[in-house]
Amino acid sequence: LSQRRLLSHPQPRASSAMLGLGGAVVLAAAPPPGGEGPQPGREVFAEKFAADSAEAGLSRALTEQRRRAEKLFAEESWDEALDAYQAMASSAVELSDRASEAIAVLRMADCLSKPDEIDVELVCGMYRHAGDAAQEVGDANVRFLALCGCAQIRRSCRMFQRSEKLWEAAIDMASESGNPEHSVFAKSQLAMTLLQDPDESNLDVVDESKDTVGHVSASGDAGTVHLHGGISIRCQRALKLLERTVVELPHSASTAQQVSARLNFAAALASQNGPQSKRKAEQQMVVALELLEAAGQCDPKHQQSIEASLLELYEENTWLADGNAEAGGRISKLRAKQKASRVTVEQLVSDRGKPVDPDERYLYEKAAWAAQKLEAMKISSGANDDSDSDIDSAVLARPRGRGWQK
- Helix (H) or strand (E) segment spanning residue 275: helix 275-295
Cα 245 off chain centre by: 20
pLDDT, tens digit, 9 for 90 and up, residues 337-380: 888 776 554 454 455 566 666 667 677 777 888 888 888 887 77
pLDDT for the residue 30: 46
pLDDT, tens digit, 9 for 90 and up, residues 85-104: 999 999 999 989 999 999 99
pLDDT band at 198 (very low <50, low <70, confident <90, very high): low
Question: How far is the C-alpha of 322 from the C-alpha of 333, rounded, in Å?
Answer: 17
Question: How far is the C-alpha of 389 from the C-alpha of 369, rounded, in Å?
Answer: 21
Question: How far is the C-alpha of 312 from the C-alpha of 38, rounded, in Å?
Answer: 88
Mean pLDDT score, 380-405:
52
- 229, β-bridge pairs: 214
Q: With pLDDT > 90 as the criterion, what percentage of the chain qualifies? A: 38
- Would the CA dihedral through 162, 167, 168, 172 be positive or negative? positive
Mean pLDDT score, 111-133:
93
Cα 388 off chain centre by: 70
Range with the poorest average pLDDT among 61-75, 217-231, 277-291, 321-335:
217-231
pLDDT for the residue 251: 82
Question: How far is the C-alpha of 401 from the C-alpha of 23, rounded, in Å?
Answer: 158
Q: With pLDDT > 70 as the criterion, what percentage of the chain qualifies? A: 66
pLDDT(391) > 90: no
pLDDT for the residue 364: 75
pLDDT band at 11 (very low <50, low <70, confident <90, very high): very low
pLDDT band at 70 (very low <50, low <70, confident <90, very high): very high
| 385 SS3 class | coil
Question: How far is the C-alpha of 126 from the C-alpha of 312, rounded, in Å?
Answer: 42
pLDDT, tens digit, 9 for 90 and up, residues 269-314: 988 878 888 999 999 999 999 998 888 767 778 888 889 999 999 9
Mean pLDDT score, 395-405:
51
Rounded to 5 degrees, φ, ψ at 192 are: -65, -35
Question: How far is the C-alpha of 311 from the C-alpha of 330, rounded, in Å?
Answer: 9
pLDDT band at 5 (very low <50, low <70, confident <90, very high): very low
Annotate 184-236 with DSSP letters as a single string: HHHHHHHHHHHHH-GGG--EEEE-TT--EEEEEEE-SSTT-EEEEESS-HHHH
